[in-house]
Amino acid sequence: MTRPLPAAPATATPDVLDEIVKRPQAVATVDAKPSLLGLTRDKLAFALSSIGVEDRHIRMRVNQLWHWMYLRGVADFASMTNVSKDLRAKLAEHFVVGRPELVAEQISVDGTRKWLFRFPSRGAGRPVEVETVYIPEEGRGTLCVSSQVGCSLTCSFCHTGTQVMVRNLTAEEIVSQVVVARERLCDFPAAEKAEGALPAEGRLVTNIVMMGMGEPLMNYEPVRDALLIFADGDGLSLSKRRITLSTSGVVPLIPRIGAETGVMLAISLHAVRDDLRDVLVPINKKYKLAELLQACRDYPGLSNARRITFEYVMLKGVNDSPADARELVRLLRGIPAKINLIPFNAWPGSAYECPDWDTIEAFAEIVNRAGYASPIRTPRGRDILAACGQLKSASERLKVAERLALEAMMASGGDDD
Residue pLDDT, tens place only, 1-56:
444 444 443 434 333 343 333 333 334 344 579 999 999 999 999 999 999 999 99
CATH topology of domain 36-94: DNA polymerase; domain 1 (1.10.150)
Q: How many residues does the chain have?
A: 417
**Mean pLDDT of the region 152-159:** 72
Q: Where in the chain is the domain with CATH 1.10.150.530?
A: 36-94
What is the percentage of the chain residues whose pLDDT exceeds 70? 77
Per-residue pLDDT band for 348 (boundaries 50, 70, 90) equals confident
Residue pLDDT, tens place only, 181-240:
999 998 987 555 555 565 555 548 999 999 989 999 999 999 999 999 999 999 999 999
**Mean pLDDT of the region 318-342:** 97
What is the percentage of the chain residues whose pLDDT exceeds 90? 67
**Mean pLDDT of the region 168-179:** 97
Q: What are the φ and ψ backbone dihedral angles of 236, each rounded to 5 degrees?
A: -65, -30
CA distances to 5, 263, 408 from 348, rounded to whole Å, are: 17, 34, 10
Q: Please pick, among 151, 296, 354, 388, the residue that the annotation labels catalytic.
A: 388
Rounded Cα distance, 145 and 209, in Å: 6
- Count other C-beta atoms under 10 Å from residue 344's C-beta: 26
Per-residue model confidence (pLDDT) at position 376: 86
Per-residue model confidence (pLDDT) at position 218: 95
Per-residue model confidence (pLDDT) at position 153: 77
Pick the CATH number of 99-411 from 3.20.20.70, 3.30.1780.10, 2.60.40.650, 1.10.10.10: 3.20.20.70
**Mean pLDDT of the region 266-285:** 96
Per-residue model confidence (pLDDT) at position 349: 74
CB 81 within 8 A of CB 72: no
Q: Where in the chain is the domain with CATH 3.20.20.70?
A: 99-411
Residue pLDDT, tens place only, 75-131:
999 999 999 999 999 999 999 999 999 999 999 888 899 999 999 887 767 899 999
The larger pLDDT score, comparing residue 125 to residue 308, is at 308
- β-strands 264-268, 308-314: how paired? parallel
The larger pLDDT score, comparing residue 109 to residue 259, is at 259
Beta strands in 286-378 (DSSP E): 308-314, 337-343
Buried b (16+ CB within 10 A) or exposed e, 152-164: bbbbbbbbbbbbe
Q: What are the φ and ψ backbone dihedral angles of 302, each rounded to 5 degrees?
A: -60, 130
The larger pLDDT score, comparing residue 415 to residue 234, is at 234
**Mean pLDDT of the region 274-285:** 95
- β-strands 264-268, 243-247: how paired? parallel
Per-residue model confidence (pLDDT) at position 409: 42
The larger pLDDT score, comparing residue 352 to residue 409, is at 352
Q: Is the pLDDT of residue 254 over 90?
A: yes
> 288-291 long-range contacts, Cβ below 8 Å, gap at least 24?
289/331, 291/251
Q: Is the pLDDT of residue 362 over 60?
A: yes
131 is catalytic: yes
388 is catalytic: yes
Per-residue model confidence (pLDDT) at position 9: 39
If you write DSSP's letter for every residue of 392-411 in order, what string do you get?
A: --GGGPPPHHHHHHHHHHHH
Q: What is the dihedral of CA 9, 12, 15, 19, to 10 degrees?
A: -170
- 3-state class (DSSP) for residue 93: helix
Per-residue model confidence (pLDDT) at position 195: 57
Q: Please pick, among 19, 101, 131, 291, the residue that the annotation labels catalytic.
A: 131
Kindly report the average pLDDT of the chain as a whole number: 83
